[in-house]
Structures are given as structure tokens and as C-alpha cells.
Structure 1
Amino acid sequence: MDMQKQPQRQPQPQHPEGCLVVAIRIPVRIFVFLVVLPVRLLWDACAAVARFLWRYVLTPVARAIGRVLHKLVVVPLIWLYRYLLTPLGHALVWLYARVLTPTGHALVWFHTRVLTPIAHALVRLLTPVAKAVARVIDMLGTALYWIARVLLVLPALALWRWILAPAGHVLGIVLREIGEALGHAWRAAGYVARATGRVLGTLFRWIFLEPARWLYRTVLTPVGHVVRDLVLHPAAQAARAIGRAVHQARADLRRALFGEPRQPAALDRREPAGRDTRTLGG
């Protein structure tokens, strides 16, 4: 509770409330209180548990972890920096200052005082020699170029220009003309062969086919019909009549020699009566 006194409020003008408003307000407030009360209790319980965990669990655990990390990580790193890296750094600084720097200055002095004059002297000495060698190489290259040109290139060009190229040109013309002549001859032979085939076909048709067709249509067909109607049909009928007569004469001769053939006896298929009756056992 606040110990300070609250300033007195000015009385507000009260509005008269009806019985219906009061009858609705009281049940609503009671329902809301019953709904809000468990939520507030759960909230206060969670807050108390959280405060307890932070105060009596997480804080000691965090402190213990910090002590462990300090012992396992921070202290070894401090020792490493103090007793290993610092002496090593001092040693490297001393090496750089006492050894590397004088050695570098000595090398620079040696390069400036010894190597550079020697190099300049070698350049002055070798420049004329290099120029002379270059001139000799140039002269040898020129000589070899003209020797190869005179002995190889010019004869090869002359051979190509005056012999091989004209011969190839003439050979190409000859081969082209031969090819064109062969093509023309092949096409002409085809035309002649087709014309000859058409002529021979026409002659064969008029000499052999047409006379044979006329002979078959005007001579052989009527003669065949006459032979069929006057000779073949009567001959076939006479042959059938002769065959029937021969068969009948053969039958008469068999009856005269052996008599009438016996007729098959009729079989009695009725079931026997009395003791001879058929059963399943006999």
C-alpha cells in the first residue's frame, strides 16, 4: 500500500443508475473475476519460479562456469602470453635489430659497391661481343635464306609454274571433257535404248501378239466351241453310258455265277427273361 496520502478527489456528480444496470454489472464482474483469478495465480507462480531459478540456480551455475572457464582458458592464455609469446617477441625484436638489420645493410652495401660495378663492367664488356655474335648470326641466316631460296624455293616455283600447273590444267580439262563426253554418251545411249525398245516392242506386238490374238479370237475360239459341243460333250456322255453298262454287266455276271448276295440277319436286341436277365453282377 502507498504510504503517501492520496489527494482528495472532488466529488463527481453521480448519475442515477437503474436497477437493470446494477443487475447486469454484478454478475459480469463476478464472472470476469472467476476467469481472471486462475490466470493471475498462474502468472504469479511463474514469476516466483523464475525469480527462484535466477537467484538460486542460474546465478550459481553461471558463476561456477565462469570460474571453470577462468581456470581452464584465461589462466593458460595469460601464462602463454607472459612466459612464451613475450620472450619470443623480445627474441624476434633482438634478432631483427641485431642480426637482420646489419645483414640487410651489409647486403645493400655489397650490392651497391660490388655487384653493381661488376654488372656494369660485364655489360660494357659483353655488349660488343653480343653485337658481333648477332651480326654473325644475321649474316649466317641471310646466307642460309638465299641458299635455300636458290637451291629449293626457286626450282620448286619454276617446276610448279612451268610444268606442274600447266600439266594439271591440261589434265583437268581432259578429265572434264571426258566426264562430260561420258555423261552425254550415257544420256544419248539411254535415249537410243528407249527408242529401240519401243520400236522392237511395237514390231513384236504387230508381228506376233496381234496375229496370235486375231487367230485365237477368230479361229481357235469358234473351233473350240464346235469341238466342245460336237465332240467332247457327246464323247463324255458316251463314256458315262459305257461305264454304266459295264457296271451293270459285271453285276449281272456276279449274280449268275454266285447267286444273290445274302441279306444280313436281323439281331434281337431285347433283354432276356427269367434267370438270363442281365444284372450288375453278371
Structure 2
Amino acid sequence: MDLQKPPEPRHQPEGCLVVAVRLPVRIVVLVLVVPVRMVWDALVVIGRLLRDTVLKPLGRALLWTGRALFVWPFLALWRYLLAPAGRALAWLVRVLVVVPVLWCHRYLLTPLGHALARLARGVGAGLAWVYARVLVPVGRALAWLLKGAGAVLAVVGLGGYTAVAWLVRYLVVVPARWLHTRVLAPVGRAVAWCVRGLARLLGLLVAGIGLVLYWTARVLLVLPALALWRWVLAPVGRFLALVAREAGDALGHAWRIAGRISRAVGRALAALFRWIFVEPVRWAYRTVLTPAGHAVRDAVLRPVALGVRAVGRVTREAVTTARDTVRQARAEFRRMLFGSPRQPAPVDRREPVARDTRTLGRSTTALTKD
């Protein structure tokens, strides 16, 4: 068990400006928020009452109406018309399209494709044989002939090739090398040095102009803006933030206090309504209407109900007697006109009809008796 108390949260010290702003702001906000909170609570109560007594039954009625008008007809249409029609259509498509296509693929296209594949393999094998047995030997023979002709031409033209190479060396290569070494390389170095110097000069000019523009912008724009931010905007922003924070805290505090006040006022009004209207009505119902209702029930309604039951019972008995009398009179009139009905002839069912019938409590039956 830890006997040490947890460290209490340390609050930062607040200045006199915070305290001076907080109290009037909370008072003003409380005065403004209490009516709003009471109106809000009244609207919430009215909204809940409307939701429970009007909107929910109306929503259920609209839901039932929507189901009766839209869901159930479409469901019946789908179940008793579209689904059977779809099944019939699927059966027709299967019988008229799928089965013939499968039969055509299995017994016509597949054998034809196999035959074409065998024919293509045969043609490919023939072309491969022609390439290996005819074209390759012919190509090798042509290559051997071209090599031999090249060797003969090389042996014949060796002296001319040496003269051409000597002329190309001393008429083209040596002058080009001298031109590159004595003329083009020095000129290129001089041009590169000039370009580097010009680039350095332009860099110094750009750096100087940038430094001048930087200090000009710093002195004319940055330092005044920094001073304005540090000595004007920041303090004003802190003050406005303090006011906004205190206003928000005051609004929350006032909203909670207004809720308690509204709850107390609501409870007082509910108690007043209860003692003015509900309790008298309950007392009148309990002490006046209930005994009067019991007296009316015992003195009037119950005897009337007993009399009505007796009358109903007598009426039913009279109706039953009249029905039996009419049935007997009809039977006598039919017998007088058409005579007695013919009795059915007895049928021999091979079973004793007298005392010698089957028995369940004895060990013998009518068939095993002597």
C-alpha cells in the first residue's frame, strides 16, 4: 500500500490581468447563456415528446406503407413472375444454346482441331527436314565459296592496299594531327580562360547586387516588420487569445451553471404542475370516480350483464328446441311422403355379433373357442 500522496497538479500563477478579465466575462456570459440554455432544454423536451408521440408512430406507419406499396409488390413480382420466367429462360437457353454448342464443340470442333494440329505438325516436320537437309548444306557451300573468293582477292590486291594506306597517312592523318596540336588546342584553351574570367566577373557583380538588395530589404522591410510583430501584434494577439480563452471557459462554466438552473426551474415547474393538476386529478379519481364506478358496476352493470346472460341462455335454448322440432317435423313429413328409408342388408363379416366376440382380457378368442 502506497502511503505517499500523489503529487497535486501544479497550477501556473495567473496575473492580475487574467483575474480582472475573467470575472466580468463570466458574469456577462452567464446572464446571456441562462435564457438560451432554458430555451434549449425546453426545445429538447418538446423534441423528445414529439419524437416519442408523433415521429416514431408516423415513421412506423410510413415504413409499413412503403413496404406495402413498394417492397411487397416487387417481392411478389420477383417471386411469382420474374424468378419462374428466369428459370424458364435459363432452361430454354440451356436446351437451345448450351447443349448444341457443347455437342458441336465435343463432336465437331474438337476432332477438326485435332486433325488440323496433326496436319500442322506434319507440315512443320517437312519444313524442318527441308531446312536441315537442303538449305543448311547450300548455305555452307555458298559461305565456303565466298571465303575462297575473298582470299584470292586479298592475295591479288595486297600491293595496292599498301600504297593507298601510305597516301592516306601522309595526306590526311599527319596534317590533321598538326592542325589539332598547333592551332585548335591553343585557341580552345584561350577561349576557355576568357569564359572562366567572364563567369567570375559576372558572379562578383551578381553577389554584390544581391548583398545590396538583401541589406536594403532587411533595413526597409524585415526590421520594421519584426519590430511591428514583436512590440504590437504579439502582445495584442496574446491579449486576444487570453480574452478568447477566458470567454470559452466562461461559456462552458455558464452553460453548466445554466443547465443546473434550468434543471431546477424545470423540476419546480414539474412539482407545481404535479401539485396543481396531477394530484387533484389523482385524488378525484381515487376517492370519487373509483367508488362511483364500483357502485355503478355493482348496482347497474353487473345485474344488467346477468340479465343479458339469462336472456341469451333462454334464447339459445328456445332456438335449439325450435330447431329440433323443425327437424323432427321435416323427418315425419318425408316419412309420410316417401315412406321409411330402406334398411341396409346385414353383411357377414365372419365375426360373432353376440356375446361370443373377441375378448382382450381372456386367453381365448372367438376363433379358438369350442
Normalization by structure 1: what TM-score?
Answer: 0.49
Structure of greater relative contact order (alpha carbons < 8 Å, 6+ residues apart): 2
TM-score by length of 2: 0.39
- Return the index of the structure with the highest Cα Rg: 1
